[in-house]
Structure 1
Amino acid sequence: MPGMADIQARERWERHTQGPLLLLSVLFAVAYAVPIVRPDVAPWIKDACRAVEWGVWAVFAVDYAVRLWLSPRRWRFVRRQPLALLAVLLPLLQPLRLLRLVSALLLVGQRARLASRVRVTTYVAGSCAGLLVFGSLAVLEVERDAPEGNIATLGDAVWWSFTTMTTVGYGDLAPTTGVGRLLAVGLMLSGIALLGVVTANIAAWFIARFDEEDAVEQRQTAALEALTAEVRALRTEVAELREGRAAPGDPGAGPASGTAGHLSSPRS
């Protein structure tokens, strides 16, 4: 079937490109962080970081195009992965570094979910770490030069991101720009969602353990019932064998005594 062959080809492509794309996402993170953490770096370093960002985005865009081309039902592929398409198109709408950041996070998340070996706990932990790091860098970029901003260092940004993601919100640090507040809303919603996933995962783990214990008890109970039934059957069989041996003994006793009497009559 041509469709099955195309699906297998797409799966092979996704399997072979999973590792390299994740490495490129790490490279993107470094290129995004360097100009923010060190704003006084040489201009050529900033240009190189910007080129790396656009290069990584271009690789992810090519990856999406190849996966779309290898899909037998292309429109179905687009409808099932709207975030991937949005991530590819976002940087084209306006050349902002923040949009490239959002698109890279979406693309990495899409490809990470394709890995069958990535467990939920690992994915959630990676998502929390990624949101914490990128949220801190993004808010530091937009709030550092704000006239009334109070998030001026990386430490302040990390502390603000952590308290925002955990929905604690001490209020000692807060964004003052529109983009910064949008980032705060995104971090709060993401933090609530991830905490919900963690809670659900822990609850599912406990439920699974309880189900396993119940299944073990049910198997043990079934084994005991089967063993009891087998013992009863053996007892019944033994009783029947005893009765069968005793029944032929009574008729045989008569002929034996009769023979003895017949033999003794001639002597008399």
Structure 2
Amino acid sequence: MDDDSRTARWEHRAGVPLGVASLLYLASYAVRVLGPELPGPVRDLCLAVLYASWALFVVDYAVRWHLSGEGVHFVHRHWLDSVVVLLPLLRPVRIVRVYDAMQERRRGQPHMPLQARVMLYAGMSAGLLGFAAALVMYQYEHAAPHASIRTFGDSLWWAASTLATVGYGDVVPVTFVGRLVAVALMGCGVALLGAVTGSFSSWLMQRFARGDDGPGPPRS
């Protein structure tokens, strides 16, 4: 059995567990950030879930690296997976990959057009990224001196305006970590907005092309 087929089989088997780990990671992180007054054992359990989820991502990355047979070239050829392992902010996006895998298993069922799938996945990714970024922003900003992001609602508003590339400027990060998260979310927002806009434009062009190719009005 070649390396590609073994890698495909591993990704097929690990997809759902990694998606569940992504969801647990996001939920545990949210509980720790938004529930500072919770009992110590609850917070410790959430921390254990965070580390366990991260360990699953590391194991998956190591196995796919081994099965690929690419050596050190695997790191830059699969740079997004490398970044996901290092940056917790991007790990919840794996939930989208689980949804995609579940759709592929529905044999005999009609699939959505490519443009619709791109818009759906971009929207899901934007929501997950925005929520995760809002949690990180609130954690580092709400107690900082001269901070304008004081509540989690402020953080959600900031994430929404940043992803939409609006940038009202009414709430802005003041800490180093907050500004790093802001730069990352700006890039993701531009990329996701471009994907949605491009897919929607392509869908419109196809619709118009079908209309132009159709039969013309009857002649008198």
For the superposition of Structure 1 and Structure 2, which TM-score range results when normalised by the shorter chain? 0.7 to 0.9
Q: 1:102 to 1:132 in 2, by over 3 A?
A: closer
Contact 2:22–2:95 (CA<8 Å) still a contact in 1? no
Contact 2:32–2:43 (CA<8 Å) still a contact in 1? yes
In 1: Cα distance, 2:210 partner to 2:174 partner: 52
Q: 1:160 to 1:202 in 2, by over 3 A?
A: same
Name the structure, 1 or 2, with higher relative contact order (CA <8 Å, separation 6+).
2
> How many pairs align?
204
**Aligned counterpart, 1:189:** 187
**Aligned counterpart, 1:68:** 65
Q: 1:186 to 1:78 in 2, by over 3 A?
A: closer
Q: 1:50 aligns with which of 47, 59, 83?
A: 47
Structure with higher helix content: 1
In 2: Cα distance, 1:71 partner to 1:178 partner: 37
Which range moves more in the overlay, 192-201 or 5-14?
A: 5-14
CA deviations over 1:73-132 (Å, ceiling 9, x no partner): 4455433202222433x3xxxxxxxx4x235257x2895698484931221011110121
Deviation at 1:206?
A: 1.4
**Aligned counterpart, 1:125:** 123
Matched, 1:10 2:7: yes
Q: How do 1:122-201 residues align onto structure 2 when only pairs under 5 Å count?
A: 122-201=120-199
Q: 1:61 to 1:161 in 2, by over 3 A?
A: same
RMSD: 2.6
In 2: Cα distance, 1:163 partner to 1:202 partner: 21
In structure 2, runs of 5+ residues without a counterpart are 105-113
Contact 1:36–1:141 (CA<8 Å) still a contact in 2? yes
Which range moves more in the overlay, 38-47 or 116-125?
A: 116-125
Deviation at 1:36?
A: 1.0
**Rg (Cα) greater in structure:** 1
- Identity level (%): 39
In 1: Cα distance, 2:13 partner to 2:60 partner: 11
Which range moves more in the overlay, 206-215 or 32-41?
A: 206-215
Contact 1:165–1:192 (CA<8 Å) still a contact in 2? yes
In structure 1, runs of 5+ residues without a counterpart are 91-98, 221-268
Deviation at 1:27?
A: 0.5
Deviation at 1:166?
A: 1.4
Contact 1:84–1:110 (CA<8 Å) still a contact in 2? no
In 1: Cα distance, 2:209 partner to 2:9 partner: 36
Matched, 1:81 2:78: yes
**Aligned counterpart, 2:109:** none
- TM-score norm. by structure 2 comes to 0.81
Deviation at 1:22?
A: 0.8
CA deviations over 1:5-24 (Å, ceiling 9, x no partner): 33212111111221221111
CA deviations over 1:32-61 (Å, ceiling 9, x no partner): 100111111112222211111111111111
Contact 2:89–2:133 (CA<8 Å) still a contact in 1? no
Deviation at 1:210?
A: 3.3
- TM-score norm. by structure 1 comes to 0.68
**Aligned counterpart, 1:229:** none
Specify the SS of the correspondent of 1:102: helix
In 2: Cα distance, 1:199 partner to 1:212 partner: 20
